[in-house]
Amino acid sequence: MARDVIQPGRHGKAGANSVEIWGDRISGNCLKVQWIADRLGLQHRWIDVDILAGDTRSPAFLAMNPAGQVPLVRWPDGRTLAQSNAILLHLAEGSALIPADAFTRAKMLEWLFWEQYSHEPAVAVARFRVLYQGQSPDDLDPALLAKCAAALTRLEAGVADGFLVGRRLSLADVALVAYTRMAGDAGLSLDPFPAIRRWIGLVEAELGLPPYR
């Protein structure tokens, strides 16, 4: 069952009219919404949802999001929005996290689409199988490991000069750092990727996050 843990973030108190963020803290997709809410000073309440216990399959949750997924944001007027990167784009509208230049903004979107299509289905899936399903990293599907290696290699090239687009923090960095910094949970070493390791430190510093584990 979902639990309202009333965690308003670093900026102000969460009141009855606060935006609600429904999420599970084991999920990088949920955490990146929390980070953006904190970064922007959005008054909000975190509603803790246990995906492993089936909270997202309850009738009450499915009434809010028929896809049965977190994160989910609900406004006081009852409107809801799902899909992590759609949420990021909406919350950050008009902020410096979305480049003003049209082409640079499109490059940011390119990374956001790639994150959900090529990176998350590899790195996040490997992490889930090891950390929450008890599979040994040595027993992971070679095809999945190949996808992880390809995604990390692509990202290594993308962050060679620092941030992904526009030489400053953008939603692309926030979206991609979420599961990249957790890669070790799947037994994926970041030692061969020095640019990624530097970039993770940059993004963590910008967001005020302690190093992962």
∠ CA 147-117-163, nearest 5°, is: 85
Q: Has this prediction a pTM greater than 0.85?
A: yes
Q: What is the DSSP string of 12-73?
A: S---TTSEEEEE-TT-HHHHHHHHHHHHHT--EEEEE--TTTTGGGSHHHHHH-TT--S-EE
Contact 94, 37 (CB under 8 A): no
Q: How confident is the model at residue 15 (pLDDT cuts 50, 70, 90)?
A: low
pLDDT of residue 16: 56
Residue 48 phi, psi (nearest 5): -75, 125
Model pLDDT for residues 111-137, shown as the tens digit of each residue: 999 999 999 999 999 999 999 999 999
Token reading at 162: 């620092």
Per-residue tokens: 157: 């090239």
For 130-170, how does the pLDDT look when each residue is reduced to its tens digit (9 = 90+)?
999 999 999 999 999 999 999 999 999 999 999 999 999 99
pLDDT in tens, 20-39: 999 999 999 999 999 999 99
Q: Rounded to whole angstroms, how far apart are CA atoms 98 and 89?
A: 8
Average pLDDT, the chain: 93
Lowest mean pLDDT among 6-15, 56-65, 160-169: 6-15
Provide the token pair at 144: 């999945």
User: How would residue 18 be classed by pLDDT, with cut points 50, 70 and 90?
Assistant: confident
Distances (CA, A) of 180 to 27, 55, 104, 106: 12, 26, 22, 22
The CA distance from 72 to 146, in Å, is 31
